[in-house]
Structure 1
Amino acid sequence: MLMIPSESQGKRKLYSISEQKVYNNFELPQACNSTRRCCGSSNAPGWLVAVDQLGEHQLSTTLVNVFKRDVTPIRLPLLDFNAQSHWFRVFSPKVILSADPIANPDNYVVVAVYDRVSRSAFIKGGQTIWTYLEVRSFFTDAIFYKRKVYAGYLVETTKGELLHVRRFLKQKDVPRDHYFHYEDNEFWTESFKVYKVVFDERDESIVEHVELKSIGDKALFVGGNHSMCVSASNFPGCQPNSIYYTDDLIELGEVRLVDDGSIDMDDIFSLVKLEDETISNGPSDMGIFNLEDGSITQHYSLNPWHRNIPPAIWIMPLFNGLG
C-alpha cells in the first residue's frame, strides 16, 4: 500500500496498489500526519517509523502500528542530529526495524540512516542510548540480512536472496554556472539495474554482484522507506518483473550544480545552497519500471498541490486490503 497526502492539511491516506483504490475512510494514527517523515519496514508489516525534528540538533523517533489501534506507539530516545534544519527536508531520514516490536519486545533492533546520508545509529528494544556510527560513504538505505546490516538500495526477495538495486536519475541540460529555478530543472528516474549479491559460503563475504535482466514474478518497492519485495501473483493488479518507486530525492530551490550531467544514487554530488529557504520539488517522481522493456508507467499520480510536502511512502499491510 502507498501512504499518500490527503486534501486535508496535515493528513495522509492509504492507496492500494493491487486494488487501485484510495481508502478515504481509514483513519491513520496521529503520528502519521504530513509534517513528519515516515518510513515503512517490511521486516515488521504494519509498522511505521515517524521522525520529526526538534530544534537543529535532535530528532524524535516513534514506532507506530498503522493497523492495530490498541498498540501503544513506542517512543525511542532522542537521536542526535548535527546538521542545519534544511537537511532534514532534503535528505529524509530512513529508520528500519529488524523485527516486529510486538512479537519481539526486547529482541528487535532499529537502525537509522540520516544526517546527509553519511551517518547511522543503532538501538535495541529497551535500550535508552543510541550507538552512533560514522560512515564515510554515500548510501540511502540499509537492510537486516542474516543477522547482519548491509547498506545501499537493498531488498531481500521472497526466496531469501539479497538484491542490490541501482536507480539512475536524469536531469535536463543546464549550462555550467547557470542558476536555475526548481520548477524547470528536476531530477527524474530514467532507469534501474538489479544485481544479485553473491556470498562466499565459507566466510559469508560478498564475492560479486551479478546483474539480473529479469526478476520473474517478483515486484520490488523502493523509495524513502525500507525496500520491499512481494510475489506479484499473490496481489492481483501488481505487475511482475517490475520496480515500483517513489520520490526520495528532494532538490533545493535556487541552487547551482557543482558537477553537472547525469548522476545515479551511488555517486556523490554536491549542491550549493544560495538562499535561506529550502524549496521542495515535491514527491512527483513516482512510477513503475518494467525490467523487460525499460518502460515506465504510473501507479498513482499526485496533484500539483503536493509540492513542499514529505514524499509518499510504501507500507506493507498485515493482509491483502482493508475490507
Structure 2
Amino acid sequence: MIMSVPIKSDSSRSLYSLLSHKEYSIQFSSIKFITCHGSSFGWLSLVHGNGSITLLNPFKYAIIPPISLPPLESPPLRYLQSVTLSADPIISPDDYVAVVIYNFGHIAFQRANQPFWIPIVTNLLHFNDVVFYKGMLVAETHSDTIQSFKFNTTPPPDRSNDPNFTYYEKITSTEYRARAQDYAGQTHLVKSLNGDIWMVKRYLIDIEKLSYGLDVYKLKLDTKSGKLVQMNMLKSLGDNILFIRYCGNSFSVSASCFSKLKKDSVYFLCESVPEDLGFGIYNVKDGSYQIQSLPLSFEQTQFSWALPQFQWD
C-alpha cells in the first residue's frame, strides 16, 4: 500500500509504503505543479497554476508518458478534490472518461483526447464523491442523494464543443436516509472487491480527542435505471480492506492478499492534524479506532493514497 506525500520542491514527491514501512522519493523534474492527489488505477493528478491537470503514473513513469488534460474554465479551477477514471489509460488510451470534483462540489467530465470539459449541471450543487458502475456514473451529494448519469457514447466526430449535443443525461435521483449521525459531508463511494458500491460515512465522535466513527453501507442500484433500491449497513467487510480519501480516490484491497494490514478495517488520512501526520484505522466489526503516525522527514501540506496496479500470474 502506498501513500503519496509531498517533500521539498514542487517537482518531487515521496511514496511511503505501508507494507515495507519505507519512504521512496520520486522526481518529476520536467513537470512543475502546485498540488498532487491520488487518482484511479495507480495514477496521480498534478494541478498546474493555469488550472490544467496532468495525469501521471509514478509506478510506470519511465515508460508511460504523462497525460495532459485541458484547464477547467467553467468555473475556473481553484481547488481540486478528486479525479476519477472510468478505465486505466494504459489499457484503454482512447476509451476512458475522467471525472473531476472541484471547487468544493462542482463536477465535470472529459473523454480521452477531448480538448474541453463538460460541466454536469443539476439542481444539487455539492457533490461529495463519484464512482463508475456498470456503464453509469454514480454520484453522492451533500443533501444525501444518489444521482446516476449516463454518457453519450458517440460524441461529435470533430471533437468540438457543440452546445446542441447531449453529452450526458441524468437518469435518476434518489434520496436516502442514513443513521442519525452528523456526518458533516464526510461521505465516500468505493467499489468492493466484487464490484458492488459501498458508501462510507465518517463522523466525529470527540473533537478534543479527534475520535472518529465510520458507517459502511452496501448500496444496491437498479442496473438499468440507476435508482438506489436498497442500502444496508455492514458489520463486517469480509475480505475487503477500505482506503478512503480526503483528496483523491478511495479503493478496496484483499485482506487475504495483504495480511500485514488489519482485517475488517477502514484506513483514512488524518488530514486536519498537521502536528500528528498519520492515518486512522477504524475496525467496522468491533468499533475500535486508532491513529498511527508516519516517520516522514518533511512538513505536511497535503497527501493521499495511491495504489499500484498488480498483475497476478
2:232 is the alignment partner of 1:210: yes
Question: Contact 1:81–1:115 (CA<8 Å) still a contact in 2?
Answer: no
Question: Contact 1:120–1:133 (CA<8 Å) still a contact in 2?
Answer: yes
Q: Provide the rounded CA distance (Å) in 2 between the counterparts of 1:34 and 1:81.
A: 21
**Structure 1 residues 316 and 168: CA distance shift in structure 2, 3 A:** same
Give the counterpart of 2:137 among 142, 149, 156: 149
**Structure 1 residues 30 and 161: CA distance shift in structure 2, 3 A:** farther
Question: Contact 2:97–2:112 (CA<8 Å) still a contact in 1?
Answer: yes
1:252-282 C-alpha deviation (Å, 9 max, x unpaired): xxxxxxxxxxxxxxxxxxxxxxxxxxxx957
Match of 2:204 in 1: 169
Shift of 1:303: 6.4
Shift of 1:299: 4.3
Partner-residue secondary structure (3-state), 2:263: coil
Q: Which structure shows the higher strand fraction?
A: 2
Q: Note the 1:129-144 alignment, pairs <5 A.
A: 129-135=116-122, 136-144=124-132
Give the counterpart of 1:63 among 55, 63, 83: 55
Give the counterpart of 1:127 among 106, 114, 136: 114
1:217-263 C-alpha deviation (Å, 9 max, x unpaired): 21000112111001111113111100011145x6xxxxxxxxxxxxx
**Structure 1 residues 165 and 242: CA distance shift in structure 2, 3 A:** same
TM-score, with normalisation over the residues of structure 1? 0.71
Match of 1:51 in 2: 47
Question: Contact 2:243–2:305 (CA<8 Å) still a contact in 1?
Answer: yes
Shift of 1:200: 3.6
Q: Provide the rounded CA distance (Å) in 2 between the counterparts of 1:316 and 1:209.
A: 27
Question: Contact 1:242–1:288 (CA<8 Å) still a contact in 2?
Answer: yes
Shift of 1:29: 3.1
Q: Note the 1:1-323 alignment, pairs <5 A.
A: 1-6=2-7, 8-10=8-10, 11-23=12-24, 26-30=25-29, 35-41=34-40, 44=41, 46-54=42-50, 59-68=51-60, 69-80=62-73, 82=75, 88=79, 92-117=80-105, 119-135=106-122, 136-152=124-140, 153-170=188-205, 172=207, 188=210, 190-200=212-222, 203-223=225-245, 224-247=247-270, 284=277, 286-301=279-294, 306-307=299-300, 309-310=301-302, 312-319=303-310
**Structure 1 residues 154 and 36: CA distance shift in structure 2, 3 A:** same
**Structure 1 residues 168 and 81: CA distance shift in structure 2, 3 A:** farther
**Structure 1 residues 133 and 192: CA distance shift in structure 2, 3 A:** same
Question: Contact 1:52–1:60 (CA<8 Å) still a contact in 2?
Answer: yes
Partner-residue secondary structure (3-state), 1:245: strand
Partner-residue secondary structure (3-state), 1:82: coil
Shift of 1:141: 1.6
Shift of 1:284: 4.1
5+ residue gaps, structure 2, are: 141-187
Question: Contact 2:93–2:112 (CA<8 Å) still a contact in 1?
Answer: yes
Q: Which has the higher contact order (CA 8 A, sep 6+)?
A: 1
Shift of 1:132: 0.6
Partner-residue secondary structure (3-state), 2:198: strand
TM-score, with normalisation over the residues of structure 2? 0.73
Shift of 1:291: 1.0
Question: Contact 2:278–2:292 (CA<8 Å) still a contact in 1?
Answer: no
- Aligned residue identity for 2:294: S
5+ residue gaps, structure 1, are: 174-186, 251-279
What is the aligned-residue RMSD (CA, Å)? 2.9
- Aligned residue identity for 1:194: V
Partner-residue secondary structure (3-state), 1:106: coil
Question: Contact 1:143–1:226 (CA<8 Å) still a contact in 2?
Answer: no
**Structure 1 residues 83 and 171: CA distance shift in structure 2, 3 A:** farther
1:112-163 C-alpha deviation (Å, 9 max, x unpaired): 001122x110110011111111342433221111111112311111111110
Partner-residue secondary structure (3-state), 1:134: coil
